[in-house]
């Protein structure tokens, strides 16, 4: 019956599409109603989207999950920022996620999400994203959609050229945007040139658990390392990083970093370096960086401070690193699905530079170099150039691919997406964006296997696209249908924070394995209670640990006495539900923290330091059930010197 209706409704929508599409001009310029455009982004109530899209939240520090083509937002995944909605970064279990060598840093600037790959194709296991400001890389589970791990990156600053994965997720790379003294030291800023260094970090990813570890850092010249993408197919084993400020300017970079006609794309054969370090190469250098891991079974994060990092000096590994001259401060550095073309978008140029991997290898083998920079060979521009795309646009930034031989490049200054053909370099189409587009995203568009049906353009400027909401506007995104010869603008939707890059994946690869709840029997939290009968309260000096249970619609216990002013009260709350989408919340009056939102089977903890004598209520913040309003309790707080014994109860029955 259900299946019949589903199938029938699909048939109806197909038929509707036939009527509308079949009978209207296919120009897309006659408005939504006459061109079937509305139909193509309309996901009927109860239906689901075809793709997941993960948009970085930029300065929100988080990652947002959208559906395509509808543009509906499903979730904000907290990553680098405290998130009172769930208690992430406030709960005792998740505070360690924000530990760094600079102490507790509860915010970052999240930029470039990238989904793990196997054989160059999206495998949907994890998504990585970089924290730009206090350099970090996070790994997020694509089963729980929660942040599982954050590793700090030492010797780095402005961790922008990140977090891109190699073809089998052997590594996630993190290149520094700002070069800095390595190691850090007190020195005059104007002695930057020749003294500052740019670290490119290769972080290994454990194939089973995804755990990250800095395998090695290449200590490169003091340029700005902007973006990167991996080789794939025949160029697997190489990583390409765009650079700017090869002038090594340390002030007024907007002028001083634009002096050279060409900067470089750094081509790095990481397989050679991997072999070098596996054979004992490299120098262990003292460093300090935090490695924070969240364990799904204990529901707790731990933070470890690491004290050493393996560094590699480029001149010690001949044959591993080359510079490809690339015009005018290249920003995007994108590799086509075949692995042959490396596209550098000179952001001050009108043209795109396309390098050929085969030509690069031939030039390297022929040892045709045009000098070197700090001992790193520079290849001849003409020797590696595959072609130039004369775009007619201005300010090219980023390129994605549709897997059908076409590339799509954003132009910030001329506010457009330009479609062009790989190999002929011919411009095929151009569509305006609204306004000043940064990145764009085709699901799988930077892998061996793109899903070339839609492209999403993420814009920096919104202006009049939506109803005005004061000076601060959310950024706009546009989705285009790219299944035909010409791109067609379908829809426009606001995004959260500042989406830089995004990553998309077919829903069928993620939806079936999305976790519904945590199994109580697997809960290894030290204060977990797996039935309400196990609840307990323990006093250790002025520390009081309350193990509490929630189930529709009460807390066990819900009356607690014997707490005193000056106590440090830990609430450890285990949600006893084993039912999808039945969280319980917990909030305590006057608590200097956020609420906890506890998923079924999960334990979360928060601290309350009562300062005032009285009887203070707590309650469930999530409208969990019909009797949600009844889900509350009281704690009696007595004076510091009180001798009232600890006592806890439910419905008048003492439980201790």
Site for another protein in 554-593 (CB under 8 A): 577-580, 582
Measured from the CB atom, is 195 or 625 closer to another protein?
625
Query: Contact at 8 Å (CB) between 415 and 437?
Result: yes
- Residue 10 phi/psi, 5-degree rounding, is -65, -45
Among 18, 33, 187, 615, contact with another protein (rule: CB under 8 A): 18
Does residue 9 bind another protein (CB under 8 A)? yes
Site for another protein in 391-450 (CB under 8 A): none
Measured from the CB atom, is 44 or 644 closer to another protein?
44
Within a 10 A sphere around the Cβ of 75, how many other Cβ atoms? 12
Measured from the CB atom, is 10 or 469 closer to another protein?
10
* Minimum CB–partner distance for residue 518 and another protein (Å): 11
- In eight-state DSSP terms, residue 382 is H
* Minimum CB–partner distance for residue 647 and another protein (Å): 19
**Counting beta carbons within 10 angstroms of the beta carbon of residue 640, is it exposed (0 to 12), middle (13 to 18) or buried (19 or more)?**
exposed
Does residue 33 bind another protein (CB under 8 A)? no
* Minimum CB–partner distance for residue 634 and another protein (Å): 19
Among 211, 449, 539, 552, contact with another protein (rule: CB under 8 A): 552
Question: In sequence order, which residues have a C-beta less than 8 Å from that of residue 552 and are 6 or more positions away?
Answer: 577, 582, 624, 625, 627, 631
**How far is Cα 646 from Cα 87, in angstroms, rounded to an integer?**
27
Q: What is the dihedral of CA 465, 471, 472, 473, to 10 degrees?
A: 0
Token representation of residue 76: 């904000």
Question: In sequence order, which residues have a C-beta less than 8 Å from that of residue 364 and are 6 or more positions away?
Answer: 319, 322, 377, 379
Among 227, 535, 549, 551, contact with another protein (rule: CB under 8 A): 551
Query: Contact at 8 Å (CB) between 529 and 523?
Result: no
Query: Contact at 8 Å (CB) between 370 and 326?
Result: no
Does residue 1 bind another protein (CB under 8 A)? yes
Does residue 12 bind another protein (CB under 8 A)? yes
Does residue 76 bind another protein (CB under 8 A)? no
Q: Is 469 helix (H, G, I), strand (E, B) or coil?
A: coil
Query: Contact at 8 Å (CB) between 601 and 520?
Result: yes
Token representation of residue 37: 């455009």
Instruction: Considering only the stretches 39-47, 74-82, 120-128, 364-372, report the one whose residues sit in contact with another protein under the rule CB under 8 A.
Output: 39-47
* Minimum CB–partner distance for residue 20 and another protein (Å): 9
**How far is Cα 330 from Cα 343, in angstroms, rounded to an integer?**
9
Among 143, 553, 642, 649, contact with another protein (rule: CB under 8 A): 553
* Minimum CB–partner distance for residue 117 and another protein (Å): 23
Does residue 252 bind another protein (CB under 8 A)? no
Instruction: Considering only the stretches 4-12, 54-62, 126-134, 215-223, report the one whose residues sit in contact with another protein under the rule CB under 8 A.
Output: 4-12
Instruction: Considering only the stretches 12-20, 251-259, 314-322, 380-388, report the one whose residues sit in contact with another protein under the rule CB under 8 A.
Output: 12-20
**How far is Cα 241 from Cα 223, in angstroms, rounded to an integer?**
11
- In eight-state DSSP terms, residue 531 is S
Token representation of residue 389: 């795309």
Within a 10 A sphere around the Cβ of 18, how many other Cβ atoms? 11
Among 226, 317, 327, 325, which residue's Cα sits nearest to residue 274?
A: 317
Q: Is 271 helix (H, G, I), strand (E, B) or coil?
A: helix
Q: Write the interaction track for another protein spanning residues 611-630; mark x where CB under 8 A is met and - where it is not.
A: -------------xxxx---
Instruction: Considering only the stretches 19-27, 199-207, 278-286, 322-330, report the one whose residues sit in contact with another protein under the rule CB under 8 A.
Output: 19-27
Measured from the CB atom, is 7 or 611 closer to another protein?
7
DSSP string, 26-63: TTS-S-HHHHTHHHHH---TT---SEEEEEE-BTT-SE
- Residue 99 phi/psi, 5-degree rounding, is -70, 140
Does residue 8 bind another protein (CB under 8 A)? yes
Count of residues binding another protein (CB under 8 A)? 52
Does residue 187 bind another protein (CB under 8 A)? no
Measured from the CB atom, is 48 or 85 closer to another protein?
48
Measured from the CB atom, is 195 or 553 closer to another protein?
553
Among 28, 35, 49, 351, contact with another protein (rule: CB under 8 A): 49
**How far is Cα 585 from Cα 544, in angstroms, rounded to an integer?**
20
Measured from the CB atom, is 24 or 101 closer to another protein?
24
Site for another protein in 55-74 (CB under 8 A): 69
Site for another protein in 514-543 (CB under 8 A): 516-517
Measured from the CB atom, is 68 or 268 closer to another protein?
68
- Residue 513 phi/psi, 5-degree rounding, is -110, 10
Among 32, 43, 285, 394, contact with another protein (rule: CB under 8 A): 43
Measured from the CB atom, is 6 or 297 closer to another protein?
6
Site for another protein in 489-518 (CB under 8 A): 507, 516-517
Contact positions toward another protein, by CB under 8 A? 1-2, 4-19, 21-23, 36, 39-50, 69, 507, 516-517, 551-553, 577-580, 582, 624-627, 651, 653
């Amino acid at each position: 019956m259900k299946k019949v209706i589903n199938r029938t409704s699909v048939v109806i929508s197909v038929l509707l599409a036939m009527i509308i599409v079949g009978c209207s001009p296919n120009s897309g310029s006659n408005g939504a109603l006459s061109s079937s455009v509305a139909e193509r982004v309309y996901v009927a109530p109860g239906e689901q989207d075809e793709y997941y899209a993960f948009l970085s939240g930029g300065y929100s520090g988080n990652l947002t999950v959208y559906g395509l083509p509808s543009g509906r937002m499903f979730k904000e995944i907290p990553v680098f920022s405290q998130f009172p909605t769930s208690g992430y970064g406030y709960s005792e279990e998740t505070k360690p996620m924000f530990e760094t060598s600079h102490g507790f840093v509860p915010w970052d600037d999240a930029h470039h999400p990238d989904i793990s790959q196997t054989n160059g194709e999206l495998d949907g296991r994890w998504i990585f994203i970089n924290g730009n400001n206090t350099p970090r890389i996070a790994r997020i589970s694509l089963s729980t959609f929660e942040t599982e791990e954050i590793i700090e990156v030492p010797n780095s600053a402005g961790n922008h050229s990140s977090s891109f994965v190699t073809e089998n997720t052997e590594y996630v790379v993190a290149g520094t945007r700002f070069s800095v003294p390595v190691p850090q030291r007190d020195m005059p800023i104007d002695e930057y040139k020749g003294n500052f260094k740019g670290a490119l970090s290769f972080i290994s990813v454990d194939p089973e658990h995804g755990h990250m570890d800095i395998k090695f850092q290449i200590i490169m010249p003091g340029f700005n390392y902007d973006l990167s993408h991996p080789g794939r197919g025949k160029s697997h084993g190489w990583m390409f990083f765009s650079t700017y400020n090869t002038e090594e300017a340390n002030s007024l970079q907007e002028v001083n970093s634009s002096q050279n006609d060409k900067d470089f794309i750094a081509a790095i054969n990481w397989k050679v370096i991997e072999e070098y370090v596996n054979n004992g190469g490299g120098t262990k250098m003292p460093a300090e960086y935090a490695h924070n891991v969240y364990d799904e079974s204990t529901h707790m994060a731990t933070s470890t401070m690491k004290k050493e990092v393996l560094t590699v000096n480029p001149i010690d590994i001949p044959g591993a690193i080359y510079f490809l001259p690339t015009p005018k401060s290249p920003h995007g550095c994108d590799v086509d699905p075949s692995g042959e073309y490396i596209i550098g978008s000179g952001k001050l140029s009108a043209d795109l530079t396309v390098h050929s991997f085969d030509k690069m290898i031939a030039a390297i083998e022929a040892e045709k170099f045009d000098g070197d920079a700090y001992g790193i060979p520079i290849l001849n521009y003409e020797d590696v150039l595959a072609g130039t795309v004369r775009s007619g646009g201005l300010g090219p930034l980023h390129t994605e691919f549709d897997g059908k031989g076409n590339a799509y490049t954003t132009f910030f200054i001329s506010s457009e997406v330009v479609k062009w053909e790989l190999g002929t370099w011919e411009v095929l189409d151009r569509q305006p964006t609204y306004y000043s587009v940064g990145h764009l995203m085709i699901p799988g568009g930077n892998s061996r296997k793109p899903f070339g049906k839609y492209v999403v353009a993420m814009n920096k400027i919104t202006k009049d696209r939506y109803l005005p909401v004061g000076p601060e506007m959310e950024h706009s995104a546009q989705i285009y249908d790219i299944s035909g010869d010409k791109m067609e603008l379908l829809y426009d939707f606001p995004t959260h924070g500042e989406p830089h890059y995004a990553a998309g994946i077919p829903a069928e690869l993620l939806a079936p394995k999305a976790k519904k709840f945590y199994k109580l029997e697997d809960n290894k939290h030290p204060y977990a209670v797996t039935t309400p009968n196990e609840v307990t309260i323990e006093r250790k000096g002025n520390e009081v640990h309350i193990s509490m249970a929630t189930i529709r619609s009460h807390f066990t216990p819900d009356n607690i006495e014997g707490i005193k002013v000056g106590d440090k009260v830990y609430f450890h709350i285990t949600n006893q539900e084993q039912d999808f989408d039945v969280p319980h919340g917990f909030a305590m009056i006057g608590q200097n923290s956020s609420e906890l939102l506890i998923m079924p089977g999960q334990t979360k903890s928060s601290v309350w330091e009562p300062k005032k004598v009285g009887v203070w209520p707590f309650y469930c913040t999530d409208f969990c059930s019909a009797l949600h309003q009844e889900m509350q309790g009281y704690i009696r707080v007595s004076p510091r010197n009180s001798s009232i014994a600890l006592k806890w109860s439910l419905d008048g029955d003492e439980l201790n």
